[in-house]
Chain A
Amino acid sequence: MNVPTVHPVPDVPAVPVVLQAKNLVKRYGHVTALDGMDFELRADEVLAVIGDNGAGKSTLIKALAIVPDAGEIRLDGRLVRFGSPIEARLAGVECCYQDLAVAPAMTVAENLFLGRELRRAGFLGRCLRMLDRQKMIDVAGARMADLQVGIHSMTQTVETLSGGQRQCVAVARAAAFARHVVILDEPTAALGVKEGNMVLELIRRVRDKGLPVVLISHNMPHVFEIADRIHVARLGRRAAVLNPKKLSMSDAVAVMTGATAPENIPAEWQA
């Protein structure tokens, strides 16, 4: 499926690049959502992706997981082309979509294993296709404890959880199964302050476990709290990659809206 071409990545940074995209183009009818977007995610970082509506944030993420019209994507240096979110998942890239991620009437364990259920060994599993509930509950419990998500009962339904906990289940599901990259689309959008912080904490722990995270967010305080670098999307291109420690939120907004033109961005802001 993937052609492993070994091209040396030009001017290799100190930290290896996990996910890289070059010159991505994605059109929807007459609308060009991505117009030559570049993208680079390093290992061990939380990379925030910000941008106005229509700047290409969501399309960028979709294009990473769904075939773009042009451009190339490399995962760990290998050229990849994912035909569907499932293929991306099999390659170790897990996405967590805003508000859409969980089945409320199903249990935490069932949600964690949705679409990749474990079957029993032997006749019961192979011939009767019977699920191994206990194993799924055990594994789910272990993964959740590992990520220190404060949910202890894997058999309670997700609808009995608070909004923040629900989102933690969704994020934990992505993190628990990702081998390379976790992509989170607006994970804190619908949450209050305390609940949002709960999810941010979880994202930090995911990164500290060594999984790079792409965080798409509108929420500037959250972005500045957690991101190591900020990818600014504008008009379907990458306007800049910023260092949140070197500039203010209003500076970032200025780049995002185009008030500060890309050529006027001070060198020390860039990351």
Chain B
Amino acid sequence: MRIAVLGPFLALIAACLFFATQSDRFLTGENLSLVLQQAVVVGIIAIGQTLVILTAGIDLSCGMVMALGGIIMSKFAVDFGLTAPIAMAAGISVAALFGLTNGLLVTTVKLPPFIVTLGTMNIAFAITQLYSHSQTVTDLPLWMTALGDTFSLAGTKVAWGTLLMLALYGLTWFVLSETAAGRHVYAVGNNPEAARLVGIPTRKVLLGVYALAGVFYGFASLLSVGRTGVGDPNAGQTENLDAITAVVLGGTSLFGGRGVVIGSLIGTLVVGVFRNGLTLMGVSSIYQVLVTGILVILAVTADQLSRKGAR
């Protein structure tokens, strides 16, 4: 396991060193804190995405479901005057429902995850736009943006959301590596037929994974709303590919059954550092998209080659 995250970790160090030579501001506490704050949304989406990819699936709907969750919770709070916790729960529930739908389509109708989530991605986007009339939702209750607030730790600002993200990573790591349910996720991704034959309820495992991924996207909505302070119907568009990139950069195999969730955290930071570093260098944002695209292809290539090597 340690070896599995060594590559991504070295990539992170290399990226940091490179940007440190390019900009004096990169290695300041203030900037690194910013990188972490910007990484939380992608980071939490990446947890859900890791679960799905471990089962040899993919979830293209992650960013859009996250945006929908954010719109639901902010509209519910503002339009219906719901208290923040109830509105937040509503947003997370809708995201979980989308995850569950993905899971049902994958397990019962047996559609390929790629197609299912391509569909739900567009559906979630359309609902987001229709429901919000493509308008940003403002004047949110204070409670709703609390996770975006920061506190000072040794002179550096730390967002509460960052702590939530780290806690969720810790929890997911524990379940995946230390419990039977977690090992069954790996087994289903590794060899679904063998998993079924030894009596693992493979459909339940898949359904659980997709639904849980939805819950994580819901938490990400919370963080996204908290950080920006508004319900943004155009959220999630860069996060979608960034989260997949983060998971793959973190060493989780797109072929399923291999990878560790902590790798996705490192992958998230790599993506975050690239975006931040390129911004500091004054590179236009469209080049950041270009770089992300190249990164994801490199990571998948490395995955493919290492799989061939293992045979």
Contact = CB atoms under 8 A, between A and B. Distances in A.
A17 interface: no
B194 A103 contact: yes
B194 A114 contact: yes
B96 to A, nearest CB: 22
B194 A89 contact: no
Contact of B183 (A84, A85, A110, A160): A110
A248 to B, nearest CB: 36
Contacts of B199: 84-86, 89, 115-116
A159 interface: yes
Contacts of B198: 114-116
Nearest to B175: A129
Label chain B's interface by main secondary structure.
helix
Contacts of A265: none
Interface in B182-226: 183-184, 186-187, 190-191, 193-195, 197-200
Query: How many B residues touch the partner, as a band?
Result: 20 to 34
B258 A105 contact: yes
Contacts of A160: 310
A131 B194 contact: no
B194 A102 contact: yes
Nearest to A118: B180
Interface stretch (A27-35, A93-101, A201-209): A93-101
A103 B187 contact: yes
Interface string B246-261: 0000000000011000
A52 to B, nearest CB: 25
B200 A129 contact: no
Range class of the A interface residue count: 20 to 34
B182 to A, nearest CB: 9
A128 B180 CA distance: 11
B193 A106 contact: no
Interface in A75-120: 84-86, 89, 95, 97, 100-106, 110, 114-117, 119
B180 A117 contact: yes
Contacts of A86: 199
A160 B310 CA distance: 7
B310 A159 contact: yes
B288 to A, nearest CB: 33
A1 to B, nearest CB: 16
Contact of B190 (A84, A89, A106): A106
Given A105-B190, A105-B258, A115 B181 contact: no
A110 to B, nearest CB: 6
B212 to A, nearest CB: 15
A261 to B, nearest CB: 37
Given A100-B191, A130-B178, A159-B311, A106 B183 contact: yes
A16 B186 CA distance: 42
B186 A103 contact: yes
A101 B257 contact: no
A117 B186 contact: no
Given A110-B183, A130-B178, A103 B197 contact: no
A117 B190 contact: no
Given A103-B186, A131-B183, 19 more contacts: A100-B197, A102-B194, A104-B191, A104-B257, A105-B186, A105-B190, A110-B183, A114-B187, A114-B195, A115-B184, A115-B195, A116-B198, A117-B180, A128-B174, A128-B178, A130-B178, A131-B179, A131-B180, A160-B310
Interface of A: 84-86, 89, 95, 97, 100-106, 110, 114-117, 119, 128-131, 159-160
25 contacts: A89-B199, A100-B191, A100-B194, A101-B197, A103-B190, A103-B195, A103-B257, A105-B186, A105-B258, A106-B186, A106-B190, A110-B183, A114-B194, A115-B184, A115-B187, A116-B199, A117-B180, A128-B178, A129-B179, A129-B181, A131-B178, A131-B179, A131-B183, A159-B310, A159-B311
